[in-house]
Structure 1
Amino acid sequence: MPAAFVAVSNIFLLSLFIYGLAPASGGHINPMITFATIITGLTGFARGVLYLIAQTCGAALAGGLIRGSFGRNLTLLYGGGGCLFQPGLMTAGQVFLIESVLSFCQIFLSFGVGLDPRQHAVFGPKLGPLLVACSLALVSFSSVGLGEGYPGAGLNPARCFAFAVSRGDFKYQWIWWFGPVTGAVVHSLVYHLAPPYHRQLREEAVETKMAYQKHHQDANRESQHEANEKMADGNLA
């Protein structure tokens, strides 16, 4: 029941935050998604790095607020809020593998329903954020109970960093960062290399651009020719 509540609340909270932040940053609130858009070419490198820095700083501030609001004992009792596992029941390697696979699934779904520019005509800017939030809720809910001692996927390095700050424990923080990074890199390979559809689109785009340039040059030459004829007629007159 708590897992279902968290999943449903994620649908509303995440979609509303994306809508709210869209004018400023395009809705970038998750380093995993930001990094995925950088390596797929949808976000510029400099802008993406600024987003990552802002997300990490915001997470550190949130971790401090959690610790200050609930105190040391309550924060440690609940592990800061999430992004943890019990080393005696699961190994760090197992958790890293699970986090990598689930991160890939989340990124794949997010691109498919909202981030890929080609889907703009299908879902548009109004429906995309809601579908991204639904995909996060589904992946998050499905990860609960995958293994004993593993409460569920992190899927957001900044969120996990905030929890680490709140409980003052960074021992396994690499899992919640490199897991999503691994998932993003694998997704980037799939996005760029797997379907020939991308290469076909690039070829069509190049052909369209060349045809447009040729048409523009022909139009300029025709206009110049007409101007020269008018000038010649004027001189004869």
Structure 2
Amino acid sequence: MLIYRRIAVGGVSEAAQPAALKAALAEFIAVLIFVFAGEGSAMAYNKLTGYAPNDTAGIISASLAHGIALFVAIAGSANISGGHVNPAVTFGAFIGGHITLFRGILYWIAQLLGSTIACLLLRFCTHGMSTPAFTFAAGVTVWNALVFEIVMTFGLVYTVYATAIDPNKGSLGTIAPIAIGFTVGANVLAGGAFEGASMNPAVSFGPALVSWAWTHQWVYWVGPLIGGGLAGLVYQIIMIGHTDHEIIVPTSEY
């Protein structure tokens, strides 16, 4: 199949290339910005409400914070790294042949570090408040949450492909950051009250590590990676099809 011929491993030497290191730094900063705002909004809401359970105001504030922060994070890194800001997006791009394996691993390391540093900074700035890890609402099973994460991340990565990666996107690429931010914000409204609506393993990893709360952490990795990988396969094979464009190494494009 075409998709397997497109996948590229790359080489260890990529980790030493200035362009790759600059792209990794851009991913680190972008995820730090995104998690600091998103996780910080949850901590602020907890402080204002005395750790009240999820309610309408909390879900709406989380949706706005994550949607706006992701828009800013992508816009600020798109011209350098492609603005992935999410290991699931990086994985989906790899599956479609738009980033090499070694550059993808470099992105993953940077993304996880960015999330961890953001949570450590939040803990310092709030005098030791815990960084809330993702959890399930009462009655939600791991399979419910897993399907939520798969479906929501599929929609997210499909939007990334449609507005940012597709070589035929044309002027649509200019709205990619806001379209992707809106997708995440809408998904938070849909799934936030049930299982947190992560769609991003880095967003789940930082709070879990800093608070040392690993319950069901695997769901927030497996679900997004399956959803992102499926979106990459579907869009690359069916929507883009047998194009001959080369593997994208992000420079001036998303």
> Normalising by the residue count of structure 1, what TM-score does the alignment of the two structures yield?
0.71
Task: Write the deviation string for residues 144-163 of structure 1: whole angstroms up to 9, x where unpaired.
Answer: 34xxxx25311111111111
Q: Give the structure 2 partner of residue 84 of structure 1.
A: 135
Unaligned runs of 5+ in 1: 206-237
Between structures 1 and 2, the one with greater helix share = 1
Q: Give the structure 2 partner of residue 198 of structure 1.
A: 241
Q: Give the structure 2 partner of residue 34 of structure 1.
A: 90
1:2 maps to a residue whose letter is: G
**Cα distance in 2 for residues equivalent to 1:173 and 1:180:** 12
How far has the Cα of 1:49 moved from its partner? 1.3
* 3-state SS of 2:90 partner: helix
Runs of 4+ residues over 6 Å off in structure 1:
none
Name which of 173, 178, 182 aligns with 2:226.
182
Aligned length: 189
Name which of 106, 124, 145 aligns with 1:50.
106
How far has the Cα of 1:82 moved from its partner? 4.5
**Cα distance in 1 for residues equivalent to 2:148 and 2:177:** 25
**Cα distance in 1 for residues equivalent to 2:66 and 2:114:** 19
* 3-state SS of 1:118 partner: coil
> Normalising by the residue count of structure 2, what TM-score does the alignment of the two structures yield?
0.66
Q: Give the structure 1 partner of residue 118 of structure 2.
A: 62
Q: How high is the sequence identity, in percent, across the aligned residues?
A: 26
**Cα distance in 2 for residues equivalent to 1:181 and 1:24:** 23
**Cα distance in 1 for residues equivalent to 2:158 and 2:134:** 21
Pair 1:123-2:156 in alignment: no
1:166 maps to a residue whose letter is: V
**Cα distance in 2 for residues equivalent to 1:11 and 1:94:** 23
**Cα distance in 2 for residues equivalent to 1:127 and 1:183:** 23
How far has the Cα of 1:18 moved from its partner? 1.3
Unaligned runs of 5+ in 2: 1-56, 246-254
**Cα distance in 1 for residues equivalent to 2:206 and 2:71:** 20
Stretch deviating more after TM superposition (29-38 or 5-14)? 5-14
Q: 1:71 to 1:84 in 2, by over 3 A?
A: farther
**Cα distance in 2 for residues equivalent to 1:95 and 1:151:** 6
Name which of 22, 26, 40 aligns with 2:78.
22
